[in-house]
Chain A
Amino acid sequence: MSDTQIKASADALMRQRSTYKPPRDPVQIIRWTLLAMGAIVMVMPIVYMLSASIKYPHEMFDLNIIPREPTFENYIYVLADGRFIQWFINSLIIATVTTISAVFFDALVGYTLCKFRFRGRYFIFIAILSTLMIPTEMLILPWYMMSLHFGWLNSYWGIMFPGLMTAFGTFLMKQFFETVPDDFLEAARIDGLNEFQIWWSVAMPLVTPALSALAIFIFLGNWTAFIWPLIVTTDSALYTLPVGLTTFSVEQSVQWELIMTGAALATIPTLMVFLLFQRYIIRGVAMAGLKG
C-alpha cells in the first residue's frame, strides 16, 4: 500500500461513525448482539481482575462481579511498603526516556535516509533494516555480558540501552518522510535554516501523526517489556512493573486477591491513558501496523 493509502485507511477507520440508533434489520440485530456478547467476553478477564482486587478473601471465589462488601484494603496492603510505587516510577522513567530517544533518533535517521543523497545511503538503510530479523533473545546473552563487563547490571541505563533506537521506527519514519515535499525543505534552505533546523522545525511538524503513532508503539512495548529487565536487574529497587509483579505474585502464592490487586495496579494506568486518548491510540496502532 502507498503512504497516502495507509493514512487514508487509518483515517477511514476512525471515520466510521457510531450511531446511537439501534439497528432494525433482523440480520443486523443478530450481528450486533453476537458482537456485543463477544466484546463482553473479551473484557471479562480485566473485569474479574478489577472485581477481585476490591473483594475480601472470603468473597474472592464467588462468581459475582460486584462485591457485596467492596474494600480497598487489598490496595492499601499492596501499596503499603512502597515497592509498587517504586516499580511504577521505574517503569515510567524507563519507558519515557526510551520512547523519547527512539522517536528522536528513528525520525532523524529515517529523515536522513529519505531526504539526503549520498554514497552509502542504501547500504546503511539495508544494514539497519536487516537488524529487524535478529530476535532480541539472541542479543540478550551478549548484552548481558556487556552489562556485566561495564557494570550496567542493576541500573536504568542497563535496562534502557537496548531500546534507544529501533529499526522498525527508522523504517516507519523513512516511509512517512516520503510524504513531505522536497520543495518545503528547499524553501527553508533558501531562508537560511541549517539542516538540523530544517528537519526539526519544518519536516518534523509535518509528520506528527506518525511520530505519535511510533511513540505509542514504543512506549507500550517498553512498558510491558519483560525478559530483558528480568535478566538485567536483581535488585528489587530497580525492577520494572512487570518484573516486580512477577516476584510479588510468587511471594503471595495463594493470596489471589493480592495478586489480582498487583495485576490491577499494573493495568489501570494504561487503561486510563487509553480511555483518554482512545481515538489516537487506535489510529496510531493501525498506522504503525499497516506500515510495518
Chain B
Amino acid sequence: MKLYSRLSIERKRTVWAWGFLALPILFYVVIRFYPTADAMLLSFQNWNLLGARSWAGLDNYIRLFNDPVFWKVFRNTFMYLILGTPISLVISFVIAYHLDKTRFLHGTLRALYFLPFLTTAVAMAWVWRWFYQPVPIGLFNNILSSLGFSQVRFLNSTTNALPSILAPAIWAGLGFQIIIFMAGLRAIPVSYYEAARIDGVSNWTILREITLPLLKPTIVFLVVFSSIGFLRIFDQVFNMTTNDPGGPLNSTMPLVMMIYQTAFSSYTMGYAAAQTVVLFTVLLVVSLVQLRLLRDR
C-alpha cells in the first residue's frame, strides 16, 4: 500500500488498468488462445479420448483430402453459403426498402418480421420438419394436395433436402437483416433524396445511384456476417435429420456436423481437429475475399 501511494498518478492508473485486465487476460489465454493452439496441435496427432496422444504428422490432412465424404461435405457447406447469403439478403433488402417507406402500422409490421429472429433454431427446425412431412401429416404437402398438386419430397430427397433445411435458417435470420438494413437506410441523409427529386430523377435511379452506394457499409457487414452463419450451419441440420444424420446420403451434411460426428461419434479427435482447422481456414478466406471484393469497388 505504501509503495502504491508513492506512485505518480499516471503510474497508479497503469496499476489499475492491469488490475482490471488480470482476470480477462487469464480467461483469453486459457479459454481462447490455448485451445486454439491445442486444436491445431491435435490436428497433427491421433487420439481416441482414452489413450495417449500420438504423432500422426500430416496423416489426418492426407486422409481428409482423400475422403470422398469430406469433398461432399465441403460442397454442401458452400451450397448453404451460395444459396443462403444472396437469397436472404435480397429478400431482406426488398422488405426493408419498402417497409421504410410505409407508415401505416409500421411498428406492428416490423415486429412481425422480426419475431422469427427470437425463436430457437432447434424448436423451429422441428416445426419445419413437421411442415415437410408427406401427406397426411405435413402442412406443405397437405396444402399442395388440397390445391391439386402432386406431393413434393422435401427431406427425403437428395436434391431437395439441402434447400429445405436452409429455408428455416434463412427465415429466422431475415428479421435481423431487415432491422440492420432499415437502420442503414435511416442513416442516409434525407437531403440527398430531396436533391434527387428536385432534379426529377426516377425512383429506380435513386435506388441505384444513391441508396445502394451509401448503404455499402451495411451490405458489407451483412454479407460477411450472414456468410459466416451459413458456413457454420448445424442446429437445423442436426434436428431435421436425426434419423439419418446429414442424410439422405450425406446430401445435407455441413462441415460442422462432420466435425461433430468425427469427434463425438467416432472419437477420432485428431481427424476432427484437422477438419476444424479447415473450417477455420474456410471462414477466414471467405471473409477476407468478401471484404476485398466489396471494399475495393
Chain A positions near chain B (C-beta within 8 angstroms): 1, 5-6, 8-10, 12-13, 16-23, 28, 31-32, 34-36, 38-40, 42-43, 45-46, 48-49, 52, 61, 63, 105, 108-109, 111-112, 116-118, 121, 124, 127-128, 131, 133-135, 137-146, 148, 161-162, 164-165, 167, 194-196, 199, 220, 223-224, 226-227, 230-231, 241-243, 245-246, 249-250, 256, 259-260, 262-264, 266-267, 270-271, 274, 278, 281-282, 285-286, 289-290, 292
Contacts and interface: CB of A to CB of B under 8 A. Distances in A.
B4 to A, nearest CB: 11
B103 A23 contact: yes
Contacts of A148: 49
B183 A162 contact: no
Nearest to B188: A9
Interface in B16-72: 16-18, 20-21, 23-25, 27-28, 31-36, 38-39, 42, 49
A2 B36 CA distance: 33
Contacts of B124: 45, 263, 267
A37 B38 CA distance: 51
A162 B38 CA distance: 15
A227 B171 contact: no
Given A227-B234, A274-B118, A267 B123 contact: yes
Nearest to A36: B109
A188 to B, nearest CB: 13
Interface of B: 10, 12-14, 16-18, 20-21, 23-25, 27-28, 31-36, 38-39, 42, 49, 95, 98-124, 126-128, 130-131, 133, 136-137, 139, 142-143, 146, 168, 171, 174-176, 179-180, 182-184, 186-187, 217-218, 221, 225, 232, 234-235, 238-239, 242, 256, 259-260, 263-264, 269, 272-273, 276-277, 279-280, 283-284, 287
A6 B112 CA distance: 24
A137 B259 contact: yes
A259 B109 contact: no
Contact of B112 (A32, A39, A266): A39
B101 A31 contact: yes
A31 B109 CA distance: 12
A226 B127 contact: no
Contact of A1 (B118, B187, B239, B264): B187
B110 A43 contact: no
A143 B128 CA distance: 32
Q: Interface SS of chain A: helix, strand, loop or mixed?
A: helix
20 contacts: A12-B183, A45-B127, A45-B171, A46-B115, A48-B127, A49-B127, A61-B136, A116-B16, A127-B28, A128-B24, A135-B283, A139-B39, A142-B34, A195-B16, A224-B119, A227-B235, A262-B126, A282-B110, A289-B221, A292-B221
A20 B183 CA distance: 22
Contacts of B131: 45, 48
A9 B109 CA distance: 19
A139 B95 contact: no
Given A18-B107, A116-B17, A282-B179, A141 B273 contact: yes
Given A18-B107, A131-B32, A142-B34, A46 B119 contact: yes
B176 A289 contact: yes
B116 A46 contact: yes
Those 5 A-B pairs whose CB atoms lie nearest each other, nearest first: A142-B35, A263-B123, A9-B187, A39-B112, A195-B16
B120 A241 contact: yes
Contacts of A144: 263
Among A145, A262, A264: residue with most chain B CB under 10 A: A145
A181 to B, nearest CB: 17
Contacts of B109: 35-36, 39
Contact of A40 (B24, B112, B137): B112
Nearest to A19: B103
B280 A135 contact: yes
A164 B102 contact: no
Contacts of B39: 138-139, 141-142
A164 B184 contact: no
A31 B27 contact: no
B38 A16 contact: no
Given A133-B283, A263-B127, A116 B98 contact: no
Contact of B120 (A63, A249, A266): A266
Nearest to A244: B122
B282 to A, nearest CB: 9
Given A112-B17, A263-B123, 5 more contacts: A109-B20, A134-B36, A165-B27, A270-B120, A282-B179
Given A39-B109, A259-B130, A282-B110, A128 B242 contact: no
B204 to A, nearest CB: 14
Contacts of B23: 105
B288 to A, nearest CB: 10
A258 to B, nearest CB: 11
B123 A231 contact: no
Given A21-B104, A34-B98, A61 B120 contact: no
